[in-house]
Amino acid sequence: MSLMQAKGDPVRRVHEFLFSLNIGLVIASATILGDGVLVPFVSLARRLNYQLGLSGASATGGYLAFLVCVVLLTASLCLLLRLFRRVSAIEAVLRWTSGLLAIGAAPACWSFMARRPGWYPAESFIYLFCAVLYLCRRWPIPIAPTILFVAVHYGFWGLQFWYYTRHNVAELMIPIVGFCLCLTWGIYVCLPLGERSCA
């Protein structure tokens, strides 16, 4: 492995992990919380509460069951990305899809869970357009204001999740992980192709 590849490999690994975690959080939240009661999830939560000696209605089992679902989804996606890391399609996914997903996953998940899109899609489309400009290296704004611009987007969606989910910390992780994914995506896209290691 060359020195150029060694520089990009940690960035790629963190990027793959955050991409997988973002997808895992969105799928688990939308399936478990946005689509009504999921019976296997409820039975897992009750079993966990029973094993911990808590009442069947305790929220602790629900949080642990949610965590188990997210960890399983994230680990599965990470494993797939690592197994197929040398396939050129994975590079395209990490370069194009992950950035657009980083920007659009929190709004899409919130809209699905809340079932009321309102004017928010316009905000999301503006940010997706900006992500495409950044990806095509046509973004005219320096790094520090760009990070602030992205933080405003995730701050807005963090507030939406905070108020909609009645201060549920589990769903608040979606915009936080999305923000971290967006930052690593920005670094990953800026790396020259030779430094994006597949090792």
Residue 55, pLDDT score: 77
First to last CA, the chain: 7
Higher local confidence (pLDDT), 59 or 150: 150
DSSP the chain: --HHHHHHHHHHHHHHHHHHHHHHHHHHHIIIIISS--HHHHHHHHHHHHHTT--TT-HHHHHHHHHHHHHHHHHHHHHHHHHTTTSHHHHHIIIIIHHHHHHHHHHHHHHHHHT--TTHHHHHHHHHHHHHHHHTT---S-HHHHHHHHHHHHHHHHHHHHHHTTS-HHHHHHHHHHHHHHHHHHHHHHS-GGGS---
Q: How far is CA 150 from CA 100, 125, 154, 161, 192, in A?
A: 13, 13, 6, 17, 23
Report, as an integer, the average pLDDT of 105-110.
82
Higher local confidence (pLDDT), 59 or 126: 126
Position 117 confidence tier, pLDDT thresholds 50, 70, 90: low
Please state the separation of Cα 3 from the chain's center in Å.
30
Full-model pTM: 0.81
Position 179 confidence tier, pLDDT thresholds 50, 70, 90: very high
